[in-house]
Every structure is written in structure tokens, then in C-alpha cells.
């Protein structure tokens, strides 16, 4: 069976990378295979996670290559080198240019820690999302896996899962619960769903 070659892009700790890798190792992503972890931050712990898993890693550091066009050119070169067919943004904090996105149209997935279209768009990332959710007083939040388009957090939705907001929640407690109950559950499932479609020529 053909396996779709997956490159995962991370900027930080790599917990979603770990969830996807663990799902792959457990046989829950039969149509995909992680071939690379690429980071834009040389100190990202995700790189250590990938090395422990025996996976190839690459760094195109934002500090060393501050020009976005040049940085994306280097990233695309690395992705071509590894034959990446699906790009998965797992806590990748750089917004990709329309040119980069169009080069991989229908082949970039992102996870967002809220139920899009609520609490999405520029500036809504990491703990900022959970702070906004608590400030708004909503009773339900969650996570969304979506295709990446030129519009920030505006691409077609692949999967969503709701999580209850508790009265005593802090941004930290809510973030942990959204990761555990939603992100780590639906992200591997969505990756397999898209890999299956790519492998079958449906995308």
C-alpha cells in the first residue's frame, strides 16, 4: 500500500507531533509515514522528540534567516529533498505566504485550539486563544483541524472536537484539556483521513 510522505513543521514543544507519531507507531495512520520534522526554531524541543524517534530533522531558523521569502525557499528545498507530499503544521507559529500555500494547495493541514471560525485569525495562537475564550465567557471550546489557505485559519475544516469550558478554568488548565481531549485525538485521525484520500488520488 502506498504511504503518503508526511513532513511535520513545528516551532515548539512538539506535543502534537508526538501524538501523530504515536498514532503512526500504533498503526492508526496506515496511509501515511512521517519522513521529516522541520522547525523554524533551533531550540524547539520537537527536534529532540523527533531525534529520539529516529526521524530526520531539519532547521530553517527564523533568527538566522529573517527574510520570509528566503526562509520559505530554503524550507521548500528541504521538503523537496525528502519528497514531502503532505505538510502538517503542528504548533508552527509562522504564517506561511500565499505563494508557499499555493505550491502545496490541498496538502497542508493545521490544528487550531478553538472551534473555528470562532477565536481564529491573526494573533489567535497558543495561550492567546484560551485567554480570549475565557474572557468571552463561552461554555464550549475545542480544536479544529483545517486545510491551510492564504486566509489565516480560514481553510476548509477537516475535523472538530468540542471541549467543555469549566467555571474554574485558567488559560493553562484549558489549554491542557483542549490538547488532551481534542487536539491529540482528532489530529492523527485527520492526518490519516487526508493521507487516505491522497493515496487514493482523491485530492
User: Contact 87/107 with Cβ under 8 angstroms?
Assistant: yes
Catalytic residues: 112
With b for 16 or more beta-carbon neighbours within 10 A and e for fewer, the 155-181 pattern comes to beebbbbebebeeebebeebbebbbeb
Per-position DSSP letters for 38-89, written without gaps between them: EES-TT-HHHHHHHHTT--EEE--TTT---HHHHHHHHHHHHHHTT-SEEEE
Amino acid at each position: 500500500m502506498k504511504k503518503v510522505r508526511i513532513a511535520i513543521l513545528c516551532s515548539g514543544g512538539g506535543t502534537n507531533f508526538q501524538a501523530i507519531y504515536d498514532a503512526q507507531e500504533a498503526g492508526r495512520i496506515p496511509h501515511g509515514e512521517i519522513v521529516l520534522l522541520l522547525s523554524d526554531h533551533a531550540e524547539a524541543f520537537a527536534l529532540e522528540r523527533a531525534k529520539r524517534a529516529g526521524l530526520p530533522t531539519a532547521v530553517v531558523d527564523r533568527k538566522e534567516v529573517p527574510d520570509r521569502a528566503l526562509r520559505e525557499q530554503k524550507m521548500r528545498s528541504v521538503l523537496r529533498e525528502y519528497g514531502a507530499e503532505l505538510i502538517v503544521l503542528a504548533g508552527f507559529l509562522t504564517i506561511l505566504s500565499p505563494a508557499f500555500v499555493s505550491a502545496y494547495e490541498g496538502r497542508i493541514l493545521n490544528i487550531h485550539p478553538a472551534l473555528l471560525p470562532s477565536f481564529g485569525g491573526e494573533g489567535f495562537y497558543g495561550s492567546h486563544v484560551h485567554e480570549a475564550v475565557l474572557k468571552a465567557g463561552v461554555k464550549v471550546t475545542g480544536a479544529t483541524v483545517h486545510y491551510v489557505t492564504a486566509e489565516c485559519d480560514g481553510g476548509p475544516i477537516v475535523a472538530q472536537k468540542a471541549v467543555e469550558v469549566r467555571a474554574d478554568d485558567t488559560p493553562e488548565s484549558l489549554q491542557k484539556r483542549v490538547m488532551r481531549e481534542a487536539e491529540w485525538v482528532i489530529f492523527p485521525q485527520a492526518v490519516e483521513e487526508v493521507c487516505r484520500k491522497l493515496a487514493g488520488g482523491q485530492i
